[in-house]
Amino acid sequence: MTKRDYRSNFEPGTTRWAIRRAQWRALGLTDEDMQKPKIAVINSSSEISICFSHLDEVARIVKEGIREAGGLPFEIKTTAPSDFITGAGRGGRYLMPSRDLLVNDIEVAVEGAVLDGMVCLSSCDKTAPAHLMAAARLNIPSILVIGGYQACGRLHNKPVDIEDVFESVGELATGHITTKDIEDMCEVAVLSPGVCAGMGTANTMHIMAEALGMTLPGSAPVAASGQRMRDFAREAGRRVVSLVNENLRPRDIMTPAAFSNAMAVGLAVSGSINMLRHLQAVASEGEIDANVYDLIHQLGQKVPLLCAIKPNGSGRIDELEASGGARAVMKQLESLLHRDVMTVTGRTVGENLADVTVGDGVIGSLDQPVRSGPSVVILRGSLAPQGSIMKLGTGKAAAFRGQCRVFESQEDAMAALARREIKGGEVIVLRGLGARGGPGVASASWFVAAVNGAHLGEEIAVITDGQLSGLNRGFTIGQVMPEAADGGPIALVRDGDTVAINVEARTIDIELSESELEHRRAAMPAFVPNEKAGWLAIYQDRVQPLTQGGTLKPGARMDQSATAQKQKSP
């Protein structure tokens, strides 16, 4: 590619050439600079969350790498959603919509300026999927830099991390600890920048980015405070310039076969169930023929659990990094992967894995796994005809049957837990929290964390159409589809109904006759959107079902409540 081929080099004498030249000359750019490939450095740095607090320094390193390779970097600041900070408002309703806001934020900045490529600094839960979605949508040469995980401390000679803090409210409610104990935990739980130190959604999506081929091999997981992360950042800056010159684009890399590879890796590490909606959203944005829910069925029995990182087991995320990380997991899965898939290195998956060795530690093999597969399953039945998702991790009870207690909000469920009204053997249903009904996939994760802190995680079942955290554990079933707002059967459940869950049979059923369900459905009022203004109103009006990744589409929103039963099951 010659310099004149860069799309950012406008025709001299045109209006857009003239006004941009005036702006950039005022910034101190030279004529030589303006002929270089122009690279966006997408930075979600923010002073509001430790997840992002180091990204300005990472951006500086990336820009140095871009300049060293002959490119011209432009740092672009975007919205910075952090689950543990942004989740405080409106019951976590801003979290899922923040992902799609970020995608559109990137489109406006990069397409509006007609830049040639981009490097995305991925940190907390929603940034990595948003960056992959934006790359798929814009389809300009792109690479992700993984921001890394945070360091954690010790209290009373025991390790303490953010997951322990997350579950501490439940322990407080049941009298196991005091408020002072929680304060002491907060002092040592997070000791450096970076994301939660476990196999939560952030580390899962970092690993998914590498498995898709959109990061440099060896990038995930990585300690945010380590030199390895900085080295990858500099090399990514250099590499993106070559990607532009080679015209290697995201849709050349994120093919259907690449999604199959990513899902195999996701199953091998028992990643957050949120990886499904996020990967489906990436495919949707890129118009890529991949259905990750189908892939779960195709790969589930073939792919064993190769590592059990907290909350799936006792392993730590730093132990996974020391054993070789995602690259080592892919090496162990090599016979099950599509080895001819292209990656951002300009080499195939097979070529990248050729010289990889797996270190001693927490990664098993196909012959000697931690556990046979699958680690994540789709359950269907009369309660979830389009499916629901359950993480098995290192194992769950084969079945659960109990009477329901229904809550329309996480807050009401938390209050009942604090009053010690929730008892073993119950099925707790949190509904009306889905993408449309929440709106924004409102949080049920704080309740689940508190349940585990109260030592009830294996004694009750929790079922929700709302948001779960990758750090959640226990007998928990999320992403019930269709959601209540779209007329799903979860909207028909009443206190005292019996729900039967059979993990081995992959079923989840409400024990009511079809005539009773139809009677309740006929009496159920139509869903009325409750947001009248602001971003949540826009999201509620335009969001598609999570079977399609929960992406936004332009134009009038179809009546999903009328069409919910007709949609293809995942």
User: Tokens for 278?
Assistant: 């996020």
| Whether 392 contacts 271, CB under 8 Å | no
> Distance of alpha carbon 361 from its chain centroid, rounded?
26
Tell how far CA 396 is from the center of its chain: 23
Tokens coding 303: 């792919």
- Amino acid identity of residue 336, one-letter, is L
C-alpha to C-alpha distances, 239 to 68, 135, 215, 340, 341, nearest whole angstrom: 10, 16, 10, 20, 18
How many other CB atoms are found less than 10 A from the CB of residue 438?
A: 31
Structure tokens at 434: 């889905």
What is the rounded CA–CA span in Å between residue 553 and residue 116? 25
Q: Residue 494: which H helix or E strand, with range?
A: none
Based on the residue annotation, tell me whether 469 is a catalytic residue of this protein.
yes
Q: How far apart are CA 106 and CA 104, in angstroms?
A: 5
Give the H or E element holding residue 118: strand 117-122
> Of 119, 324, 132, 120, which is closest to residue 217 (Cα–Cα)?
324
Cα angle vertex 165, ends 162, 166, to 5°?
85
* Euclidean distance between CA atoms 369 and 306, whole angstroms: 5
490-494 contact pairs (CB < 8 A, 24+): 490/383, 490/384, 490/429, 490/431, 490/463, 490/465, 491/431, 491/432, 491/524, 492/517, 492/520, 492/521, 492/524, 493/383, 493/404, 493/406, 493/429, 493/431, 494/404, 494/406, 494/520
**Nearest in space to 429 (alpha carbons), one of 498, 523, 524:** 498
Instruction: Identify the bridge partners of residue 477 per DSSP, sorted by sequence position.
Output: 390, 463
At residue 333, φ and ψ (nearest 5 deg) are -95, 5
Name which of 95, 96, 93, 102 is nearest 121 in CA terms. Answer: 102
Of 30, 53, 38, 29, nearest to 3 by C-alpha is 38
In whole angstroms, what is the distance from residue 283 CA to residue 76 CA? Answer: 25
Tokens 């556990």 correspond to 371
Q: Is the peptide bond before 545 cis (omega within 30 degrees of 0)?
A: no
Catalytic member of 53, 260, 469, 561: 469
**Main-chain phi, psi angles of 220, to 5 degrees:** -140, 140
User: Cβ(342)–Cβ(348) under 8 Å?
Assistant: yes
| Catalytic positions | 469
